[in-house]
Amino acid sequence: MAEPAAASSLSLKRTPLHALHVSLGGKIVPFAGYEMPVQYAPGVLKEHLHTRAAAGLFDVSHMGQVALVPKSGKVTDAAAALERLVPQDIIGIAPGRQRYAQFTNADGGILDDLMVANFGEHLVLVVNAACKDADIELLRNGLSDVCEVQPLADRALLALQGPRAAAVLAKFCADADSMRFMDAGPRMIDGLACYVSRSGYTGEDGYEISVPADKAEQLAEALLSDKDVLPIGLGARDSLRLEAGLCLYGHDIDTTTTPVEAALEWSVQKLRRSGGARAAGFPGADRILAQFDSGAARRRVGLKPEGRAPVREGAVLFATADATDPIGKVTSGGFGPTLNAPVAMGYVPTALAALDTRLFADVRGQRLPLRVAAMPFVPNTYKR
């Protein structure tokens, strides 16, 4: 049996929770330039199912947190400036609310996806670990006439996810349960000055909690003291987000995919589309708005293999069992523990993107049948 190649740990960064991961028995692997726990003793399957049944605590401190502070003191100035870089309605994010967005490039491709929260006097962004340096440069180059771009490097980020998350956090934060999905802002948790959003990336109800780095271990241990909460590694985080139909940057979306091709139209408000009050004005608007108006040639879809074999990232898709020309590729795929079945997503020509269309994936030289399926594969449980 072939063993996965061990990657060098040289020059890898550690999060403020590294020592805790090790003491909890986490299996540490390199991920996006960090040493991160891929799983703990129970393993990916049980960690995944525990998160869906109770609550899981994830260290996502490798992700970037950035404050955009308007020089004028008016948060709408920072929001208007950020609209130069993303196709979303940022001015319309009410104080105390958060929204999903993408940085786009001149071709309409996606440079990164991110969360944008309005904290009342400034914006707080959460961006992907592998992109954060480039994102900060993009923000500084694009917005420094209007905003101070302040990386919040001294903060850790925890995600508490699952049906018990609200009850657990309510023990440490009086108004945690009164927050609705995508509410965001400063909150005191266990006496610590945190930033909390009711969001996450598992499809479950839950929270992301930004905490001062030197208090991260204290907060993690407090949350883990609840019997409903287990530490969960990146392995289960990936299978959870795949079941939730959520994109992983660098896999399901990248600089070659537009928000329309990626089936992220819902994230672009009408006001930024053709005919809207603030239409265009973001990188790649010509291409992206043309795709809104006339459709894109390809589309990200959910895929359900008919058999038991997982169909993984990179598998080539065909329209028929004996076709020679590929029609697309799987961008994420694996086994969905909640469904007890394989699930995948990938890009196909729009003509073949209709629900239930039967396609074939090449897996080790065999053509395995799969069907275009609705996402999320597992219904989300957000508290709207």
Partner 1 sequence: MTTLYTSDHEWLSIDGDTATIGITDYAQAQLGDVVFVELPQVGRSLKKAEAAAVVESVKAASDVYAPITGEVVEVNQAIVDEPALVNTDASGKAWFFKLKVADKGELGGLMDEAAYKAHTA
Q: Which is nearer to partner 1, 162 or 342 (CB)?
A: 342
- Residues of span 343-372 touching partner 1 by CB under 8 A: 364
Q: What's the CA gap between 302 and 314, in Å, rounded?
A: 15
β-strands 13-14, 34-39 pairing:
parallel
Q: Which is nearer to partner 1, 68 or 345 (CB)?
A: 345
Q: Which amino acid makes up residue 152?
A: L
Q: How far is the CB of 8 from partner 1 (least distance, A)?
A: 19
- Residues of span 124-183 touching partner 1 by CB under 8 A: none
Q: How far is the CB of 2 from partner 1 (least distance, A)?
A: 6
Q: What's the CA gap between 105 and 110, in Å, rounded?
A: 6
Q: What's the CA gap between 135 and 114, in Å, rounded?
A: 10
If 0-12 CB within 10 Å is exposed, 13-18 middle and 19+ buried, where does residue 68 land?
A: buried
Query: Exactly one of 53, 91, 192, 309 binds partner 1 (CB under 8 A); which one?
Result: 309
Query: Exactly one of 151, 162, 203, 342 binds partner 1 (CB under 8 A); which one?
Result: 342
Stretch touching partner 1 by CB under 8 A, among 2-10, 197-205, 259-267, 281-289: 2-10
Q: Which is nearer to partner 1, 70 or 342 (CB)?
A: 342
Q: Which amino acid makes up residue 134?
A: A
Q: Which is nearer to partner 1, 74 or 308 (CB)?
A: 308
Tokens of 377: 């594969």
2 belongs to the binding site for partner 1 (CB under 8 A): yes
312 belongs to the binding site for partner 1 (CB under 8 A): yes
Query: Exactly one of 89, 183, 238, 243 binds partner 1 (CB under 8 A); which one?
Result: 238
Q: Which is nearer to partner 1, 127 or 315 (CB)?
A: 315
Q: 207-241 as b/e, with b when 16 or more CB fall inside 10 Å? A: bbbbbbbebbbebbebbeebebbbbbbbbbbbbbb
Beta bridge partners of 206: 161
- Give me the residue label for tokens 């890009």: 347
Beta bridge partners of 252: none
Q: Report whether 232 contacts 56 (CB < 8 A).
A: yes
Q: What's the CA gap between 229 and 83, in Å, rounded?
A: 38
Q: How far is the CB of 29 from partner 1 (least distance, A)?
A: 10
202 belongs to the binding site for partner 1 (CB under 8 A): no
Q: Which is nearer to partner 1, 70 or 334 (CB)?
A: 334
Q: How far is the CB of 239 from partner 1 (least distance, A)?
A: 6
Stretch touching partner 1 by CB under 8 A, among 122-130, 159-167, 233-241, 343-351: 233-241
Tokens of 100: 């999903």
Stretch touching partner 1 by CB under 8 A, among 14-22, 38-46, 99-107, 349-357: 38-46
* Cα 7 to the center of its chain, rounded Å: 24
237 belongs to the binding site for partner 1 (CB under 8 A): no
Number of H helices, E strands in the chain: 8, 20
337 belongs to the binding site for partner 1 (CB under 8 A): yes
Q: What is the CA radius of gyration of the chain?
A: 21
Q: Give the footprint of partner 1 on this chain (CB under 8 A).
A: 1-4, 38-39, 43-46, 48, 235, 238-239, 308-310, 312, 334-335, 337, 342, 364
